[in-house]
Amino acid sequence: MARIIGLTGGIASGKSTMAKFFRDKGAAVLNVDAIAHHLSKPRRVLYKIYVQHFGEDIIQPDGTLDRQAIGRKVFTDEKERQWLNDHSHPILAHVMHQQIECMQRKNFPVIILDVPLLFEAGWDKMTEENCLVFVDEATQLERLMQRNGYTEAEARGRIAAQMPLAEKKQRADTFIDNNGSLEESFAQAEKLWKEWTHAGIS
């Protein structure tokens, strides 16, 4: 039976890079953002829910959702963000459970749940162990402003919308400190992989 590991981290922490590392090692990686994106395509369940709630002004000329417009709504209004979470998380959790069952039948050694809001959504209860990828806030700010083109205020708003790092550290079981070089982060990830697959046990 595959071990189920939760992988989480603050925005711009480098979590996706670590998820790819584990996928390359042989893990099945279930990315909740990719699932949400798939379910948000025209005529699919989240698309219908979002348009019904936010209105047709979030639809782009090509018929797809304007994710930036939705982001502006939910990251500037706590009630809207809570509404989105309340309506999307149960649907996403159901799909995640289905995909976990599917991956277990395929005999992967490890199933990684790649979830930014792992603790906030309560999905850490699906896992055996939870790994936190983290960087300091200054690094987060710099990455968000460079990668996404956010102003400092916008970047701080995105960070503030997530659970504080200190609280995540209290709830996580294992850690990848991504403040250093990529090689240092990969070395930490390699050690965890050996523990998860028992490859380092004689």
Task: CATH number of the domain at 35, please.
Answer: 3.40.50.300
Q: For residue 147, tell me if it sits in a domain.
A: yes
Residue 144 lies in a domain: yes
pLDDT at 7 over 80: yes
Classify residue 12 as left (phi > 0), alpha (psi -120 to 50) or beta: left
Annotated binding site: 12-17
Range of the domain at 124: 3-195
Instruction: Assess if residue 90 is contained within a domain.
Output: yes
Non-local CB neighbours of 46 within 8 Å, separated by 6+ positions = 36, 39, 40, 88, 91
Cite the annotated binding site for ATP by residue number: 12-17
Write the burial class of residue 59 (CB in 10 Å: 0-12 exposed, 13-18 middle, 19+ buried): middle
Q: What's the mean pLDDT when you consider all of the chain?
A: 94
pLDDT at 200: 43
Bigger pLDDT: 107 vs 176:
176
What's the structural domain count of the chain?
1
The answer to whether position 23 is within a domain reads yes
Decide if 18 is inside a domain. yes
**Residue 202, domain member (yes or no):** no
Q: Is the pTM of this model over 0.85?
A: yes
Percent of the chain predicted with pLDDT > 90: 87
